[in-house]
């Protein structure tokens, strides 16, 4: 993965027979990821909050790729009841899952709470994906070359977990709490890798981030000045297309050289754009005590305890 020989989606091997779940698959990075996987023969389950948008995404992809194996399922990551219902449905209809791509997210909305009373960005971006991964781990263990890809952000380097004000009751900053959720993604991906490795599990936990990619994440949720900075100014000047931004998570999900515990991001200046390469996790996100504390807190808040089988 050098700048002279950048990895592209054309290098994805044939994925026929493999089953993927992509959260937030109806737009942006999720749609670009789904389209690339379908092109290589994968069976992709689009886990989406808005099923009508999911069906439109399927129609768009199948118009380009007749015979693409796609299915739409409802999933609201901010509602843990929805996460459990999605996992139950998958268990009823599938005997295994090869790759889970924890891609969906919300960015910098006004402060609001999830169905279970958790700050929305932490609930959707972290807690929902934490619970989903735990509930699907048995299906992943039965998969072929199984992987969990958790999508973080370069912004994780600006954050920490506000354990003393996790829900923003005393002080809330839209971008600050977005950064916290992306830091939580990074901590979770690494801690999951450590626990899977210790248990002798075949499942890989790989982290990825898209750099600065033009999606509706920057234009739909952020308020006020943040919407101007990211959507009106930043996207046209600095952002790369979703097909390019999706490359790190596609590499993490499919390439034989993507190792458990790695963090894959763009190789360009400040990791804002470019081809996928291995990048460094913030030292704070690799802190063992933080990983254990966040894991225990997440189990308590979601009611999901991970059972990690060693083999299929």
CATH numbers and ranges of domains, the chain? 10-301 (3.40.50.720)
pLDDT at residue 233 tops 70: no
**Mean pLDDT on 245-257:** 98
Query: Which residues are tagged catalytic?
Result: 178
Give the Cα separation of 273 and 235 in Å (integer).
12
Q: What is the mean pLDDT of residues 108-113?
A: 98
Report helix, strand or coil for 274.
Answer: coil
In which order are the strands placed within the sheet that holds 99-102? 69-74, 43-48, 19-23, 99-102, 147-151, 204-208, 263-266, 276-278
- Output the pLDDT for position 214: 87
pTM: 0.93
Query: What is the pLDDT confidence band of residue 217, given thresholds at 50, 70 and 90?
Result: low
């Amino acid at each position: 993965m050098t700048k002279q020989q950048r990895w592209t989606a054309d290098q994805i091997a044939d994925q026929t027979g493999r089953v993927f779940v992509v959260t937030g698959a109806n737009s942006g990075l999720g749609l670009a990821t789904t389209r690339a996987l379908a092109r290589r023969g994968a069976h992709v389950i689009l886990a989406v909050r808005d099923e009508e948008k999911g069906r439109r995404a399927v129609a768009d992809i199948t118009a380009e790729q007749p015979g693409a194996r796609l299915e739409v399922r409802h999933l609201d990551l901010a509602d843990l009841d929805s996460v459990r219902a999605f996992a139950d449905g998958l268990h009823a209809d599938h005997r295994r899952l090869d790759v889970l791509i924890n891609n969906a997210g919300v960015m910098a909305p006004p402060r609001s709470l999830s169905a279970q009373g958790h700050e929305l960005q932490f609930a959707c971006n972290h807690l929902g994906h934490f619970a989903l991964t735990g509930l699907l781990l048995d299906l992943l263990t039965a998969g072929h070359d199984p992987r969990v890809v958790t999508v973080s952000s370069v912004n994780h380097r600006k954050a920490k977990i506000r354990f003393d004000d996790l829900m923003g009751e005393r002080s809330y900053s839209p971008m600050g709490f977005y950064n916290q959720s992306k830091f939580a993604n990074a901590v979770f991906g690494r801690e999951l890798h450590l626990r899977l490795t210790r248990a002798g599990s075949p499942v890989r936990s790989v982290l990825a981030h898209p750099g600065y990619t033009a999606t509706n994440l920057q234009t739909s949720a952020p308020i006020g000045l943040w919407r101007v900075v990211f959507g009106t100014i930043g996207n046209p000047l600095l952002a790369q297309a979703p097909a390019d931004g999706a490359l790190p998570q596609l590499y993490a999900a499919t390439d034989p050289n993507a190792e458990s515990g790695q963090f894959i991001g763009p190789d360009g200046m400040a990791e804002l754009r470019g081809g996928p390469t291995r990048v460094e996790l913030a030292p704070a996100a690799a802190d063992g005590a933080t990983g254990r504390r966040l894991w225990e807190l997440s189990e308590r808040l979601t009611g999901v305890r991970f059972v990690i089988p060693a083999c299929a």
